[in-house]
Amino acid sequence: MNENKDFKPFVPANKTLPEFTATSIILGIILAVMFGGANAYLGLRVGMTVSASIPAAVLSMGIIRMILRKDSILENNMVQTIGSAGESVAAGAIFTLPALFLWAGEWGTSAPSLVEIAVIAFIGGALGILFMVPLRKALIVQEHGVLPYPEGKACAEVLMAGEEGGNKASTVFAGLGIAAAYKFITDGLKVFPSEVHYEIPAYKGSGIGMDVLPALLGVGYICGPKISSYLFCGGILGWFVLMPLIVLFGANIVLFPADVTIAELYAQGGSFAIWTNYIKYIGAGAVACGGVLSLIKSLPLIIKTFGEAMKGFGKGDATNERTNQDLNIKFILIGVVVLALAIWIVPVIPINLFGAFLIVIFGFFFATVSSRMVGLVGSSNNPVSGMTIATLLVATIALKATGTTGQAGMTAAIAIGGVICIVAAIAGDTSQDLKTGYILGATPKKQQIGELIGVFASALAIGGVLYLLHIAWGYGSTQLPAPQATLMKMIVEGVMDGNLPWTLVGIGAFIAIVVEILGIPVLPFAIGLYLPIHLSTPMMVGGLVKWIVDKKSTSEKEKKDTDANGVLYSSGLIAGEGLVGIFLAFLAIIPVRDTNVGNIIGEFLPEMFPALADANVGNIIGLAAFALLTFSLWKFCYRKTKK
C-alpha cells in the first residue's frame, strides 16, 4: 500500500541494484563498531551523542565508490543502515548501564559482565527494530511529506548527490568541508567554545545562549520554521518563565534534588544549576505526557496499520513490489515473544516476568513515540533520556509496589530502563534509515535485516568499550562524568527512598496538556522544554533562514531550487560535524603520558594566546563564527545550479 502515488523513488521498484552484499555488510559492521565506540565516549563525557547515519553514508561513498570502484547507491545506503545502528545502541547503553558500575563501587559488588551488557543491548536493539517495522507504512509511506525525518531526508540527499555528481555533490561536500573545519577549530583547537552562554542578572534565574555548531543550524533548516519555533517556545517557557519563577518564589527554600537553598544554588551555578536540578524533571514530565497523548492520537492509525499487517499474516511478500516488502509479521511476533521470554529466563539479566512484561509494554509505546518524534525533530534531538526517565519512574514504582526493593529492585529498574532506552534509540534510528531507503528506492526488508546485523555487532562490542573506559578513568570522574547515567541512578534511588520531586514531574505533564488543548504540537514543544535552550536557539536560526528564503522566492521554481540547495548544504553541515566529532573522540582515547592527544591539541592555542581562555572573548568569537556560518547557509541557498 502506498498512498503517495505521485512519489517516485530515486531507484524505481522494477529496477534491481546490488544492495545486501558482503561488501556492504562487512563495511557496515566495521562502521557500527567504530561509531558505537566513539559515541559511547562522547555520551559519557558530555551527555550527548552524534547521529551516525550521514557520516556513515559519506564514508560509505568514499570507500565503495572511490576505493573499491563500485557503484550502487543502494549498497551505500545499506552500509549507513548497518553502521548507524552502533550509535543508537551506544546511546541507550551509556545513558543507563554505567549506573550499575557506580552502584558496584558503592555496594562492594561486581560490575555487570560483558555477557550481561551484550544481552541487554541486543534484546533492546532487536525489540526496537521489530516494534518499528509494522509502523513503517503508517509513518514513512502514508505520512511522507508530513513528517520531515530531517536526518533521513538529509542522508538521502547526500547519497543522491554523490550518485548524480556535479553541482549537487559539490554543495554537499562544501557544507561538509566547512563544517568539518569549523568543528575542529571549536572543539579540537579550542579557539572558541562551542557553547555560548550569558546570564541575565537583572532577570534572576534566566539565561540565554546557543551551541554555535553547524549540525544544529543544518537540522533547524531541514526541520523548517514551524517545528524549530515550537522547540524554541518550549525553551523560552523553561528559561524565561519557569526558572525566574523558581528563583523569585523559592529563594529561601531547599528543594530536592538540591541540598542548598535555591538562592544559594543560583549563586553557585547560575541559571544552569536551576535547569539541571528542576527544569529537567518538568521537561521529563512534559515529554512523558506528550508521548502518552501522541500514542492516544495515533491509536487509530496504529490499529489500522497492525490490521493491515495481520491480513498478511503467514503470507509471503512475493506479490509485493520490491520497495514495499517488510519482514513477515509472523517473524516479528515470534521474535518479540522469544525476546520477552529471554529477558525473563536468561540468568544474566536481573529481570523477572513482571519486568519482562513492562519492557514489552513500554518498549512498544516508546518505539512508536520515538519513531514519530524523530520524524518531527530528527534523531539528534530525540530525547531518549526523557523517555527513559519516564520508564524508570513507572518501573521503579511498580517494582517497589510488588516488593522488589533494595539493591535487587534498583538493579532491575536500571536494566529495564537500559533495554527501553535502547529500544527508543534504535526505533528512531531505524525510522530515519527506512525514510532514507524510501526516498532512494531501497528494499525495506533488507534494510531491516541490516539493522538487526548492526545491532548484533554493536551489542557485542559495547560491553568492551564500557569496561575499557571504566578501567581508564572510572565513571563519575572528571574525564567521564556520565551525566545521564548519574541522573538515572538518582531517579531510581529517589523513588526507592520516596523523595522524588513528583510535583515538578506533574507540572510538566499539565503543561503538556495545556499545550495540546491550545492546538500546538506537544512533542516538539515538550522536547524544547526538556532540552537546554542552547540547542533550540541555533535550530531556530536555521528555521528562520529557511523562512526568509521561502518568503523572498518569487516563483515556485526559485523556491524549489533554493530549498534543494539549502537542504544539500545543511546535509553537509550535519555530516561534517558528525565526522569530526567522531575523529575527536578517537583522539581523546589515545593516551600520551598522563593525558591524551585530544587534550594536547586543545591546549596548544589557548596556551599560546591566553586571551582565548577569556569567556567573554570566546563568546564573541563564537557568535561571530556562527554568524558567518549562517551567512554561508544563506549564500548556498542561492547558489546557481549548473545544468
SS (H, E, C) 412-428: HHHHHHHHHHHHHHHHH
* Residue 372 pLDDT level (bands cut at 50, 70, 90): confident
Spatial distance between the Cα atoms of 352 and 254, rounded to a whole number of angstroms: 38
Q: Span 475-498, mean pLDDT?
A: 81
pLDDT band per the 50, 70, 90 thresholds, residue 380: low
pLDDT for 304 equals 66
pTM of the model: 0.76
pLDDT at residue 134 in the model: 86
Average pLDDT (138-163) is 84
pLDDT the model gives residue 147: 84
Strand partners, 195: 211
- How many angstroms separate the CA atoms of 460 and 465, rounded? 10
Weakest-pLDDT range from 23-27, 149-153, 536-540: 149-153
Query: Between 558 and 248, where is the model more confident?
Result: 248
CA–CA–CA angle 507, 509, 511 (5° rounding): 70
Q: Which of 108-112, 148-152, 166-170, 180-184 has the lowest mean pLDDT?
A: 166-170
The predicted structure's pLDDT at residue 374? 85
Q: What is the mean pLDDT of the chain?
A: 85
Q: Give the three cell numbers for residue 14.
A: 522494477
Q: What is the mean pLDDT of residues 620-629?
A: 96
Confidence of residue 478 (pLDDT cuts 50, 70, 90): low
The vertex-579 CA angle with 573 and 585, nearest 5°, equals 130
Is it the case that residue 164 has pLDDT exceeding 80? no
Terminal Cα distance for the chain, rounded:
36
Number of Cβ within a 10 Å radius of residue 227: 26
pLDDT tens digits, 516-570 = 999 998 888 988 898 889 989 999 999 999 999 999 888 888 888 888 889 888 8
**Average pLDDT, integer, range 78-103:** 91
Whether 14 has a pLDDT exceeding 60, the answer reads yes
Q: What pLDDT shows up at residue 168?
A: 65
- Average pLDDT score over residue span 291-301: 73
Please report, to the nearest 10 degrees, the dihedral formed by the alpha carbons of residues 629, 634, 640, 643 taken in order: 80
Q: What pLDDT band is residue 240 in, cutting at 50, 70 and 90? A: very high
pLDDT at residue 476 above 60? yes
pLDDT at 572 exceeding the cut of 90: no
pLDDT tier at 357 (50, 70, 90 boundaries)?
Answer: confident
Angle between helices 225-237 and 353-377 (to 10 degrees): 120
Tens digit of each residue's pLDDT (9 = 90 or more) over 31-61: 898 888 877 877 787 666 767 777 778 778 8
- Residues with Cβ within 8 Å of 414's Cβ and at least 6 positions away in sequence, in order, are 96, 97, 99, 100, 392, 488, 489, 492
* Position 301, amino acid: L
Most confident of 158-167, 282-291, 496-505, 614-623: 614-623
**Lookup: cell for 457:** 555487532
- What lies within 8 Å, CB to CB, of 72 at 6+ separation is 17, 18, 19, 64
On the question of pLDDT at 316 being above 50, the answer is no
Helix (H, G, I), strand (E, B) or coil at 15: coil
What whole-number distance in Å separates Cα of residue 49 and Cα of residue 383?
Answer: 11
Q: Cβ distance 137 to 306 under 8 Å?
A: no
Predicted confidence band of residue 507 (pLDDT cuts 50, 70, 90): very high
Confidence of residue 459 (pLDDT cuts 50, 70, 90): very high
pLDDT, residue 298, reads 65
> For residue range 424-443, what is the model confidence (pLDDT) as tens digits?
899 999 999 999 999 999 99
Q: What is the pLDDT of residue 432?
A: 92
Check whether 318 has a pLDDT greater than 50. no
Best mean pLDDT range from 85-89, 496-500, 516-520, 591-595 = 516-520
Taking the C-alpha atoms of residue 239 and residue 365, their distance in angstroms, rounded to an integer, is 30
What is the reported pLDDT for 448? 96
Give me the mean pLDDT over the 400-404 stretch: 86
Model confidence at 296: pLDDT above 80: no
| Higher-confidence position of 608 and 421 | 421
Q: How far apart are CA 158 and CA 86, in angstroms?
A: 20
Beta carbons of 509 and 286 less than 8 angstroms apart = yes
Of the chain, the percentage scoring pLDDT greater than 70 comes to: 92
Length of the chain in terms of residues written? 643
For residue 1, pLDDT over 50 is answered with no
